Structure 1
Amino acid sequence: MDEPAYHASRRTLNLSPCVFERALLAGCAQCELASRHALAEREVVACSLEVARINCTTLESLFRERATFALRLPRPGVPLVHAKAMQLQCGGLRGLQAAVAAPTADVHAMVQKAKRNDASLLELPWGEIVASMMAWQPRRRAQTPKP
């Protein structure tokens, strides 16, 4: 399947894509509301609750806003390269997990706990969360031995 056809099918079949899909597919986090579907030998993640999707969209926007300078992100509206998106999502969720003292990295549960504790996502300890984003490193590929 060619890429334009895949993306067109993805938009029509996955009407409510998960905001943190990259982090979930990479194993950095999980979410009790996420449902996975196969599409053209790939996996897509959908959110099953619109209110939760709105909360996650707000959280991701705050991640990007608060980490723009520290991670040298491009101006708003410009798509992120994959490595920066992973650093933002995986590092941000790891920082959120530490900030709310969550036992697991369940995105929905962490957002709910953060909203209960601080009443607003704006009041989270953003210095610690951004530091976690900066410290996050991708997994290194295994080196294959040379013959």
Structure 2
Amino acid sequence: MDQDAFRETYREVNERACLFEKSILTNRCDCSHAERFCIAEREGVRCLSDDGQQRCARALRILREQTHFALRTHEDKAALPHGKAMRIQVGGMRGIRALLDPDAEHLEPISDVAELLTRAEQQYGDLRDMPYSRIMPHIVSYEVRSKRPRSSRRSPK
């Protein structure tokens, strides 16, 4: 299946795309509202909740606004490069989890994005009122790929 046909089929099948698709497909996050699907050996994620998708959109919009300086992004609405999108999604959720549950293991995957954002709204009233100065270090320090030392190449004897 060529890329154009895939994109068209993807849009038809996935009428409510999960905004955390990148982090869910890389197993850094999960969500009770997410449902995986396959098209031509490729995987996608749809959101099963209108309210949940709106909450996620609001959270990601606020996180993106808060990270302009730290991630050196512009204020335009263009799609972010994969690495910066992952930093906002995974680092942002880890930062919010650290606010709500300071004793949690912070390197573990996020078990439920929807539940985490609902708890944040309950505790802070509005997602804009969270202390982003305490979330930002998690976004900035998140590394998309773990750096592995390169093995030295040896020629066969």
Q: Corresponding residue for 2:80?
A: 80
CA drift at 1:85: 0.9
Stretches of structure 1 lacking an aligned partner (at least 5 in a row): none
User: Secondary structure at 1:38's aligned position in 2?
Assistant: strand
Alignment of 1:99-114 (within 5 A): 99-101=99-101, 105=110, 106-114=112-120
Per-residue displacement from partner, 1:84-118 (whole Å, max 9, x unpaired)? 11111111111111112185721011011111111
After the TM superposition, list the runs of 4 or more consecutive aligned residues in structure 1 that deviate by more than 4 angstroms.
141-145
Taking a change above 3 Å as real, the CA distance of residues 141 and 4 of structure 1, as seen in their structure-2 partners, is farther
- Give me the whole-angstrom Cα distance separating, in 2, the residues matched to 1:108 and 1:69: 27
One-letter code of the match for 1:82? H
One-letter code of the match for 2:153? K
Q: Corresponding residue for 1:146?
A: 153
- Give me the whole-angstrom Cα distance separating, in 2, the residues matched to 1:58 and 1:101: 21
Stretches of structure 2 lacking an aligned partner (at least 5 in a row): none
Correspondence 1:130 to 2:133: no
User: Secondary structure at 2:69's aligned position in 1?
Assistant: coil
CA drift at 1:74: 2.6
Task: Give the count of matched residue pairs.
Answer: 147
Alignment RMSD: 1.7
User: Secondary structure at 1:70's aligned position in 2?
Assistant: helix
Structure whose CA Rg is larger: 2
Correspondence 1:31 to 2:31: yes
- TM-score, normalised relative to structure 2: 0.86
Q: Corresponding residue for 1:56?
A: 56
Q: Corresponding residue for 1:120?
A: 126
- Give me the whole-angstrom Cα distance separating, in 2, the residues matched to 1:130 and 1:124: 11
Tell me, yes or no, if the aligned pair for 2:65 and 2:75 is still in contact at 8 Å. no
- Give me the whole-angstrom Cα distance separating, in 1, the residues matched to 2:152 and 2:121: 49
One-letter code of the match for 1:91? G
CA drift at 1:146: 2.6
- TM-score, normalised relative to structure 1: 0.92
CA drift at 1:140: 3.0
- Give me the whole-angstrom Cα distance separating, in 1, the residues matched to 2:48 and 2:78: 27
Q: Corresponding residue for 1:8?
A: 8
Taking a change above 3 Å as real, the CA distance of residues 49 and 74 of structure 1, as seen in their structure-2 partners, is same
